[in-house]
Amino acid sequence: MLELLILDKTAESRNKIRNRLCDFIYTGSQSVDILPRISVKTISVEELSFQKSPKLILLGSEILSKDRGIVSDVKTLFPDIVIVAWINESLNKLFIIEDLARLGVADIFLDNISANEFFRKLIILVRKTNKKSNSKIIIVDSGKGGSGVTSIVSALGEIYLDKDKKVLLVDCDVESQDLSRFLQVRPFINENLGLILEGLKPITQDTLRECYYNVWEDEDGLYCMTPTIDAENIYSIKSSYYKNFLSVLENLDSYFDYIIIDIACFKGVLKTSLYRVCDILLVVINNDPASIFANLELIKNAKNFISANSKIVVLENKHDSSLISSDILKNEVLTSSLLLEDSYFSYSLKNSSMAGRWPGSGATFYSQSDDNLKEIMYFLSEKLDGNKIVISGNKFAKIFKDFVASIASYIKKLFTTYSSIIKNKTKKEIENKQPDKIEQPSKVIDYNASAKNDETNLKKNEDSKKYFTKVV
């Protein structure tokens, strides 16, 4: 919420400025649609010291014409505040404007300023009033569904919890509530948040605490804000839904170290408004050729909305190694989107049967993954924090050992295959060189002929014996 304090000498002059600003805000100007909710309040000089620091203060022409030193007093009381001078024609002199600028006035509003000119100046001033947030807002998005956005949101939540950080996961899937259902965080439909976004409940510490829930009952530090019910007006630029949503995130900023948003099916002004306030946009892509164009369009559109201090990080979630190679995909994304090479995360996630068991288990993608995926996800968290990824000696030795083992296994397999081929080839050559066997005729024994020969021989012997006896 953008808080404007109006400080002037008399109540009449203060109310005059307030009425003019309210006319600007409530006349339906489209310029106010891209601004957060604006709160206008009038105070006297005596009340100034009892006020908490607003984002912007308007000093009226009556008090500036009598005592321009009030600028220094306000600056001393609120060093980080943006001061604007609301002056009339009598004070519209160069030497007076130079004096006000020297004292610390950021801009000048003439009392006859138009609504469009007022909002143009206010947009610039809002950027100046944006202080560094306490928490880091990370949006995880993809140009194509089923890329693993919900899995990565859950994994980052547990990793930062392990780093002793307080983390809020925001489920924006108003259609199917995937993140809430996968983590088993109830209620799946957040009625308390819905009442706040519709403006039926105030945004206070107590009402906000009713909007997010522990992921695990026995452990604090990881919370999930489940989505509201789907409605047509949540995407309308005329609706207060997206402004209230930004106000909710702004108020939650002081409670958490990380706010990780699964942006899911959000679109239109609601999506672009979240892009404007995020610190990091993590775009999950895969190596499916059908998804490349959608992801490039997402990156191109996001660059028009994220601030100069925010950054885009691209993560490849490789579903199928038979599709586009990582090198070709990286080159295509960096060339087409004009991103720096540092924006592309150097590791890619690979398909894991173990990690596929996490939906509906109450656990996260990180806890259900194998060691390799856990290590890559940890490196991703370091990348998002802006830390240099350093592989420790033990990890480097393990990687080198695994690499050598894989090479040795490949060589062994290659040698076994080659030996088998040589053995089969040699066997065939030996078979081809062996002469054909000549079939020898089998010897047939004629037992009848043998018996006849025996009779003939016996007869001859008897005749010889008779002849020898006769001679004698």
User: Residue 259 — very low, low, confident or very high, per pLDDT cuts 50/70/90?
Assistant: very high
- CA–CA separation, 264 and 234 (whole Å): 14
Per-residue confidence (pLDDT) for residue 397, from 0 to 100: 53
Looking at the predicted structure, is the pLDDT value of residue 35 above 70?
A: no
Strand (E) or helix (H) holding 316: strand 311-318
| pLDDT tens digits for range 343-382 | 999 898 887 777 778 888 888 999 888 888 899 999 999 9
What does each C-alpha distance from 225 to 190, 258, 419 come to in angstroms?
Answer: 8, 13, 61
Per-residue confidence (pLDDT) for residue 33, from 0 to 100: 56
In 162-264, DSSP assigns E strands to: 167-171, 213-216, 219-225, 258-262
In this prediction, residues 204-227 reach a mean pLDDT of 92
Looking at the predicted structure, is the pLDDT value of residue 436 above 70?
A: no
Per-residue confidence (pLDDT) for residue 171, from 0 to 100: 95
Strands 219-225 and 213-216: antiparallel
- CA–CA separation, 217 and 184 (whole Å): 11
- Cα radius of gyration rounded to whole Å, the chain: 43
In this prediction, residues 295-306 reach a mean pLDDT of 92
| pLDDT tens digits for range 304-331 | 888 888 999 999 998 777 788 889 999 9
Higher-pLDDT residue of 408, 447 = 408
Strand (E) or helix (H) holding 66: helix 61-66
Per-residue confidence (pLDDT) for residue 1, from 0 to 100: 67
Q: Residue type at 53?
A: S
| pLDDT tens digits for range 84-137 | 999 988 888 888 888 888 888 889 999 888 888 888 888 788 766 655 567 899
Instruction: Return the exposure string of 266-275: e unless at least 16 CB atoms fall within 10 Å of the residue's CB, then b.
Output: beebbbbbbb
Per-residue confidence (pLDDT) for residue 468, from 0 to 100: 47
Looking at the predicted structure, is the pLDDT value of residue 238 above 90?
A: no
